[in-house]
Amino acid sequence: STFFRGRHFITTQDFTNEELNIMLDLAKDLKIKFSYGEQTPYLLYKTLFLMFFDQSTRTRNSMQAGIAQLGGDGIFLSPDKMQVSHGEVAKDTGVILSRFGDGIGIRHCTYGEGNKYLNAIAKNSKAPLMNLQDDIYHPFQVMADLMTMRERFGNNLKGLKVGISWGYAESHLKPLSVPQSQILLFTRFGMDVTLAYPKGFDLMPDIVKTAKQNAENHGGKLNITNNMDDAFVDAHVVFPKNWGGFFISDKEEEIRAEQAKHKDWKCTEEKMKLLDKSGVFMHALPADRGNEVEDSVIDGPRSIVYDEAENRLHTAKAIMTLLMGGRY
Ligand code: CP
């Protein structure tokens, strides 16, 4: 693991396919050991700081449970209780936390700020910085997605038809970290990816350009359409996350108004009939049940959302083990 030790993980683009495969192989091994109750103290006495500017269920708890299961300690930090709330700069926070511990994980999704903050911490941290979602990327989510797809369809996912739709999120003016990370990663494993969204809901042009380059380099495809059905026809996997956003902000009215314009961008049983017969429904969660997906789909036999969520734990443990210098 020496070539992983101390490296930051801000986007999957920071690692080669071979390195990502090593992470996923370790995640698989950790999952098996966890199922047998076998101990995996690979990060004994190591300390991880977890700084969350935004809410989380899966990410926070997969990291905190994960570091505990690896024998280390996860310290949860609320920025509003830290001096960053009084304007302390990223450099000072990054230097200090990295002198106290062995790893730093941060979620900071504020548009235009999150990724910049993470990079500023990374630049000044001698401990690995792990991106637990920023305004551009959500690498830990897509690693769990990839692991789940491999479990379902085998390790060689070349040619797998994947549909991603994202009709509405916190704001259509914001870049969307999940689909952006998905198109970057899945194209690198030769998948045939279709991204569907209503006109005007484009992802960041640079990310799309890189994803197209990834597809070219790895025999994948990236198709972009404004018709949701195009992402579903013959798909092996669909990731419809159309309505996005829980109403945690003062933007509820704005979100509702946008939803009304795109009511048909919803994953229904009817739409699921368009899939290949082996096709499955995936979703990073949380899901806005009723608005973005029918209960009968997310609770139905083709939904693998709980496997996907569980794999957040195993992939997080693998990534921490490798970056934080654990033995395995
Ligand atoms: N998928 C995901 O990142 O979930 P949380 O927001 O609950 O961490």
Question: Residue 168 above 80 pLDDT?
Answer: no
The whole-number pLDDT of residue 198 equals 86
| The pair of three-digit structure tokens given for residue 253, joined into one six-digit string | 């009215």
Share of the chain above pLDDT 90, in %: 81
- Which one has a higher pLDDT value, 110 or 301? 301
Rounded to an integer, what distance in angstroms lies between the CA atom of residue 94 and that of residue 125? 5
The whole-number pLDDT of residue 258 equals 73
| Res. 292 pLDDT band, cuts 50 70 90 | confident
- SS3 category, 180: helix
| Res. 307 pLDDT band, cuts 50 70 90 | very high
- Which one has a higher pLDDT value, 249 or 250? 250
Ordered domains of the chain (ranges, CATH): 12-138+309-323 (3.40.50.1370), 141-305 (3.40.50.1370)
Question: Residue 242 above 80 pLDDT?
Answer: no
Q: Which atom of ligand 1 is nearest to the CA of 132?
A: 3
Radius of gyration of the chain (CA): 19
- DSSP annotation string for 214-266: HHHHHT-EEEEES-HHHHHTT-SEEEE--S---S-STTHHHHHHHHHHTTT-S
Question: Residue 261 above 90 pLDDT?
Answer: no
CA of 244 to the centre of ligand 1 (A): 12
CA of 317 to the centre of ligand 1 (A): 16
Q: Which atom of ligand 1 is nearest to the CA of 284?
A: 1
Amino acid in position 129: L
Q: Is the CB of 177 under 6 A from ligand 1?
A: no
Question: Residue 82 above 90 pLDDT?
Answer: yes
Question: Residue 171 above 70 pLDDT?
Answer: no
DSSP β-ladder status, 129-134 and 73-77: unpaired
| Res. 172 pLDDT band, cuts 50 70 90 | very low
Question: Residue 273 above 90 pLDDT?
Answer: yes
Share of the chain above pLDDT 70, in %: 93
Q: What angle do CA 305, 310, 313 make, to 5 degrees?
A: 145
Q: Whose CA is nearest to atom 6 of ligand 1?
A: 56
Q: Is the CB of 57 under 6 A from ligand 1?
A: yes
Rounded to an integer, what distance in angstroms lies between the CA atom of residue 151 and that of residue 147? 6
* Region 35-42 average pLDDT: 97
The 10 Å CB-count burial string (b at 16+, else e) for 52-79 is: bbbebebbbebbbebbebbebbbeebeb
Rounded to an integer, what distance in angstroms lies between the CA atom of residue 163 and that of residue 64? 31
Q: Tell me the pLDDT tens digit for each residue of 191-201.
A: 999 999 988 88
Question: Residue 2 above 80 pLDDT?
Answer: no
Among 181, 179, 174, which Cα is nearest to 200's? 174
Amino acid in position 280: V
CA of 49 to the centre of ligand 1 (A): 18
- Which one has a higher pLDDT value, 55 or 123? 123
* pTM score: 0.95
Element (DSSP H or E) covering residue 120: helix 114-124
The whole-number pLDDT of residue 93 equals 98
Q: Tell me the pLDDT tens digit for each residue of 92-124.
A: 999 999 999 999 999 999 889 999 999 999 999
Q: Is the CB of 62 under 6 A from ligand 1?
A: no
Q: What is the ipTM of this complex?
A: 0.99
The whole-number pLDDT of residue 169 equals 60
Average pLDDT over the chain reads 93
Q: Which atom of ligand 1 is nearest to the CA of 133?
A: 3
- Is 309 exposed, middle or buried, given 0-12, 13-18 or 19+ CB atoms closer than 10 A? buried
- Which one has a higher pLDDT value, 86 or 286? 86
- SS3 category, 19: helix
Question: Residue 11 above 90 pLDDT?
Answer: yes
Question: Residue 61 above 50 pLDDT?
Answer: yes
The whole-number pLDDT of residue 230 equals 98
Rounded to an integer, what distance in angstroms lies between the CA atom of residue 273 and that of residue 300? 13
